A and B are shown apart, each in its own frame.
Chain A
Amino acid sequence: MEKHTAHRRRLPFARTWRFRLLAFFAVFGPGFITANVDNDVGGILTYSQAGAKFGYALLWTLIPITIALIVVQEMAARMGAVTGKGLSDLIREEFGLRMTVFTMLILGLADFGNIAAEFAGLASGMGIFGASKYIVVPIGAALVWFVVVQGTYRPVEKILIFFSLIYFTYIASAFAAHPDWRAAVQNTFVPVLNKSSEYLVMLVGIVGTTITPWMQFYLQASIVEKGIGKKEYALSKWDVVLGCIVTDVVAFFIVVACAATLYITGQHDIGDASEAAVALRPLVGQFASLLFAVGLVNAALLSAAILPLATAYNICEGLGVESGVNKRFSEAKVFYWLYTALIVGGAGIVLLPRIPLIKIILFSQVLNGVLIPFVLIFMLKLINRADLMGEYKNSITANVIAWSTSVTMIILTAAMLWTTYAYS
């Protein structure tokens, strides 16, 4: 009996505040990492282009986008924590094979565009150093393929995520550029409407680069993989919210920095990475190109490693075929072929002679924006099912915001297509 009481005394130790802090760090990560990967090549260049072309005029979109991003990401994370299953698993179980194949086609298409964009980013980033894309892209593709298939990816990922903090330099650069803060603040809160097709395309691109189809699948899978359940979710939620805010704060300063440098000097169209790099000049002067190139290449490699892998995982999971880099080739053929095809195909497009790299990047983000409503609608259907989510069902507020986001994107896409046709 004496031993029993000794044991009793020992346990409360584990329940001090220090233990609680540790608990936060144990669930910290998926949201923040997803947010960092979100500021990939497509993100950086889309925000840069928005600032260069329209100055501060598009800043107002960031507040509603941030709210929508938080709501949508929180939904994905919550579904992961409550069901312990990935999004493609849930779509398969609740909507059957056909809907799954349909969703996977959409996801595959959007991701393929993004993968091409990452390699385009690699090519244009290295272009600043004078390297030819015909050398850089195949090497980059081979490197990514081997690192992931060999299973040595995790430590590499940590390094890449660390370097993605380079983009925080935009915050300093925006201040150093002495922007017109009054205009910036005013445009952040007061929408500027413009019916030109270029403006609408840019708008869809900005939403598309921030709220992407792949993020929903990726975040939910990360939550499941990390073993975050209902209990840990209360803490995990803050990780997600923080990640979303960080993504959009960086976006805000990229737009401001570009508006204060490129827009006012009349450089309205970004043709290659060295032009986008000008936005960092107020901070680091002649090193702007170097800093921008390192950041862009880093972002490109990070996402080029994550995206094909995540896409292949999700598609295989939805279709119920074996997946995972810990399986041998003979066990998971579909998975390996798909993974390889996404990399080879994405890199291959970039290698086409005379293909405009920046245009590919911007187009892929518009494609994200066009396809996101499909994913959102599936998520909304799932998260409102009581038998699946129980008391963790969506609140009315979350439903209203997520549905409005979907509907808005459908209307914007329609308007974009219509104006593009009507004026061309």
Chain B
Amino acid sequence: MAITSLALSRLLGSRVADASGQFIGRVREVALRPQEDPNRVSGLVIKTREGERFLTPSMIQIEEDSELRASLPLSEWPAANTLDDFFLLERDLLDQQIIDVHGRKVVRVNDVDLHPEKANGGVSLKIAEVDVGLRGAVRRLLKGVAPSAAVEAVVQKLKPRVIPWEFVDLIETDPARRVKLRIDHERLSQLHPADIADIVEELAPAEREAVFETLDEEVAAEALEEIDLDIQVSIVESLDSDRAADIVEEMDPDAAADLLDQLPGETSEEILEEMEPQEREEVEDLLEHGDKTAAGRMTTEYLSAAPETTAEQSIELLRNFEGGVESVATIYLVDSEGRLSGSVPLQRIVLAPPTQKISELAAKPLVFVRENDQQKKVVEVMEKYNLYTLAVVDDEQHLKGIITADDVITLLREQV
């Protein structure tokens, strides 16, 4: 068998003969059972005069001109009864949008390249790649207009743009089918959250919802933070409140507060109800403040220690810290009542002897802002003292949270 690659668009509509070589019908669909084998075609739906039949690849031979010959007589071809359990390449993949996780963008499928291999008496059809370029488009436009050999001669001259099947992430908006066919976003979740955010912004609302229903909570939370706030709101509104709460819990408290602040009152109440008490309290504290103030911008995940802590002990603190990496640049010194007394840059702690008290390493002067200071002041202070993080205190000097450099970058970008 000379054929090494077979385009889905050629296979669809091609003639199928029985064992004696008599013409019986044409290929109508190519079916996949991703829950069993996501890479191999599980069967072909054949339209015959006596109704639709379902042939597995092992029952057929592929001849020249991509015509098919079945090894069994028509009477033994199984009927194609329920196709609900299948992913159908013509209906569900051709012309639809997929996520190219390698190129990190959303693309539309023009054709699918299948690789036939000889296997146990018939063939095995492996899905090799999806064609998203001109080659697939031209092949489909010319199909039936010119002889297939001539069409192939033309399209082989075009530069292909293909995505290997292992880099394809499918979007299924029907939750029941998603579960049945085991379509998840395992591949997508390997990407950087910021790339996931860019991709999600390009999708339609139902597709965004589908992605956020299945994405791992932590990944979903990180990606959600990077998405345009209006779209964040519409995504979270589309989710169940417990699913939304699971994701919001994993978000940075300040990002979560910004989001909840934009949601309609009832929705944000429902999500808060579902959240773990500790996370809920943090977010609620932030919600008290206007979003243009220091307190509205701060995160409550920060490192603090007593003044007598040693360098060695504070590194141990660092190891056990669960907050984001943007918060670890500074350890804040607080007294037994939580009042801020100093800030110690991480690099000084790392370079100090293990037994040295970190209070001796504190930066001078002690810089902080008050909860109700305007965000403009925050930017000025951080810029003036070249800070990575800035402490926010209340009227009695209690440390309430910190503002990190990435928040300031976001803030400045909003103003451009």
Q: Which residues of A contact B (CB under 8 A)?
A: 3-4, 6-8, 10-12, 14-15, 83-85, 89, 92-93, 96-98, 100-101, 224, 227, 229, 319-320
The yes or no answer to B303 lying at the interface (CB within 8 A) is no
Compute how far the CA of A96 lies from the CA of B206 in the bound complex, rounded to whole angstroms: 21
Contacts of B265 in A (CB 8 A): 11-12, 14-15
Structural contact, A98 and B141, CB atoms closer than 8 A:
yes
Query: What 0/1 pattern do residues 284 to 303 of B give for CB contact below 8 A with A?
Result: 11011000000000000000
B206 & A97 in contact (Cβ 8 Å cutoff): no
Q: Distance (Å) between the CB of A238 and the closest chain B CB?
A: 21
B203 closest partner in A (C-beta): A84
B22 within 8 A of A: no
CA A85 to CA B205, docked complex, whole Å? 9
Tell me whether A3 and B234 are in contact (CB under 8 A): no
Taking the nearest CB of chain A, how far is it from the CB of B247, in angstroms? 19
Beyond A3-B288, A10-B287, A227-B234, whether A101 also contacts B205 by CB under 8 A is: no
8 contacts between A and B (CB under 8 A): A3-B285, A10-B288, A96-B94, A97-B95, A97-B141, A227-B231, A319-B137, A320-B107
Check if B269 is an interface residue, CB within 8 A of chain A.
Answer: yes
Q: Which residues of A contact B140 (CB under 8 A)?
A: 97-98
The distance from the CB of A82 to the nearest CB of chain B, in whole angstroms, is: 9
Question: Given A4, A10, A229, which contacts B205 in the complex, CB threshold below 8 Å?
Answer: A229
Q: A3-B284, A98-B141, A319-B137 are in contact. List 5 more A-B contacts (CB 8 A).
A: A6-B288, A10-B288, A89-B204, A92-B95, A101-B141
Contacts of B280 in A (CB 8 A): 4
Given A7-B287, A92-B108, A320-B110, A97 and B268 contact (CB-CB distance below 8 Å): no
Q: How far is the CA of A356 from the CA of B29 in the complex (A)?
A: 54
**Residue B37 interfacial (CB < 8 Å):** no
State the Cβ distance, A87 to closest chain B Cβ, in Å. Answer: 13
Closest A residue to B96 by CB, please name it: A93
Contacting residue for B234 out of A15, A101, A229, CB 8 A:
A229
Residue B281 interfacial (CB < 8 Å): yes
Determine whether the beta carbon of A93 is less than 8 Å from that of B95: yes
Shortest Cβ distance from residue B95 to the other chain A in the assembled complex, whole angstroms? 5
Residues of chain A with a CB closer than 8 A to B97's CB = 93
Known: A84-B204, A84-B205, A319-B137. A3 touches B281 (CB 8 A): yes
Dominant secondary structure at the A interface: helix
Q: Would you list the 10 A-B pairs with minimal beta carbon distance, nearest first?
A: A320-B108, A84-B204, A11-B265, A84-B205, A85-B204, A97-B140, A7-B284, A92-B95, A3-B284, A93-B95
Q: How many residues of B contact A (CB 8 A)?
A: 30
Partner of A8 from B108, B110, B269 at Cβ < 8 Å = B269
Q: Which residue of B lies closest to A86 (CB)?
A: B204
Q: Nearest CB to that of A320 among chain B residues?
A: B108
Q: How far is the CB of A155 from chain B (nearest CB, A)?
A: 15
Contacts of A15 in B (CB 8 A): 264-265
B132 at the interface (CB under 8 A from A): yes
* Complex contact B230–A227 (CB within 8 A): yes
Cα-based distance from A63 to B410 in the complex (angstroms):
51
Indicate which residue in B110, B137, B206, B269 contacts A84 across the interface (CB closer than 8 Å). B206
Instruction: Determine how close the nearest CB of chain A comes to the CB of B267; give it in whole angstroms.
Output: 10
Q: Quote the shortest CB–CB distance from A418 to chain B (angstroms).
A: 31
**In the complex, are the beta carbons of B288 and A11 less than 8 A apart?**
no
> A83 and B234 in contact (CB under 8 A), knowing A11-B269, A15-B265, A96-B94?
no
In the complex formed, the residue of B with least CB distance to A227 is B230
Q: Which residues of B contact A97 (CB under 8 A)?
A: 95, 110, 137, 140-141
In whole angstroms, how far apart are the Cα atoms of A379 and B242 in the complex? 38
Across-interface contacts of B204 in A (CB, < 8 A): 83-85, 89, 224
- 8 Å CB contacts to A: which residues of B128-179? 132, 137, 140-141
Within 8 Å CB of A8, what residues of B? 269
Contacts of A89 in B (CB 8 A): 204
Taking the closest CB of chain B, its distance from the CB of A101, in whole angstroms, is: 6
Minimal beta-carbon separation of B109 from chain A (angstroms): 8
The reply to whether A96 and B95 form a contact with Cβ atoms under 8 Å apart is yes
A115-B154 Cα distance, complex, nearest whole Å: 34
Complex Cα–Cα for A4 and B107 (A): 45
A229, B234: Cα distance in complex, Å? 9
C-alpha spacing A89/B207, complex, angstroms? 14
Q: A89 to B108: give the CA distance in the assembly, Å.
A: 10
**Residues of chain B lying within 8 A (CB to CB) of residue A11:** 265, 268-269
- Taking CB as reference atom, which chain B residue is nearest A232? B234
A7 (CB) vs chain B CBs: closest residue: B284
Bound-state Cα–Cα, A84 to B208, Å: 10
Contacts of A84 in B (CB 8 A): 204-207
* Max count, chain B CB within 10 A of own CB: residue among A7, A10, A14, A100: A7
B206 CB contacts on chain A under 8 angstroms: 83-84
A96 / chain B contacts, CB cutoff of 8 Å: 94-95
CA A100 to CA B272, docked complex, whole Å: 46
Is the Cβ of A4 less than 8 Å from the Cβ of B95?
no
Output the least CB separation between B309 and chain A (Å): 30
From known contacts A97-B110, A97-B141, A320-B132, infer whether A7 and B96 are also in contact, taking CB-CB under 8 Å.
Answer: no
Contacts of A83 in B (CB 8 A): 204, 206
Compute how far the CA of A100 lies from the CA of B94 in the bound complex, rounded to whole angstroms. Answer: 13
Contact A4 B284 (CB under 8 A): yes
Chain B residues lying within 8 Å of A85, measured Cβ to Cβ, are: 204
Distance in Å: Cβ of B300 to nearest Cβ of chain A: 13
Assembly CA distance A83 to B234 (angstroms)? 14
Q: Which residues of B contact A319 (CB under 8 A)?
A: 137
| B135 → chain A closest CB, angstroms | 13
Chain B 183-216 interface 0/1 with A at a Cβ cutoff of 8 Å (1 = within): 0000000000000000000001111000000000
Minimum distance in angstroms from B214 CB to a CB of chain A: 18
**In the complex the two chains form, what is the Cα distance from A97 to B285 in whole Å?**
53
> In the assembly, what is the distance between CA of A4 and CA of B269, in Å?
10
* A91 shortest CB reach to chain B, Å: 10
A-side contacts of B269, CB under 8 Å: 8, 11
CA distance A118 to B272 in the complex (A): 54
Interface string of B368-402 (1 = CB under 8 A from A): 00000000000000000000000000000000000
Contact B141 A7 (CB under 8 A): no
Most chain B CB within 10 A, of A84, A224, A229, is at A84
| Shortest distance between the CB of A64 and any CB in chain B (Å) | 34
Please measure, in the bound complex, the distance between the C-alpha atom of A92 and the C-alpha atom of B96, giving whole angstroms.
8
Closest residue of chain A to B265 (Cβ to Cβ) is A11
Which chain B residue has the least Cβ–Cβ distance from A96?
B95
Tell me, in angstroms, the Cα distance from A227 to B203 when the chains sit together.
Answer: 12
Question: In the bound complex, how far is the Cα of B108 from the Cα of A92, in angstroms?
Answer: 10
How many Å lie between the Cα of A187 and that of B94 in the bound state? Answer: 52
Point out the residues of chain B lying under 8 angstroms from A229, CB to CB.
205, 234
**Interfacial chain B residues near A101, Cβ < 8 Å:** 141
Q: Which of B204-236 contact A (CB under 8 A)?
A: 204-207, 230-231, 234
A15 to B132 alpha-carbon distance, docked (Å): 47
CB distance from A79 to the nearest CB of B (A): 12
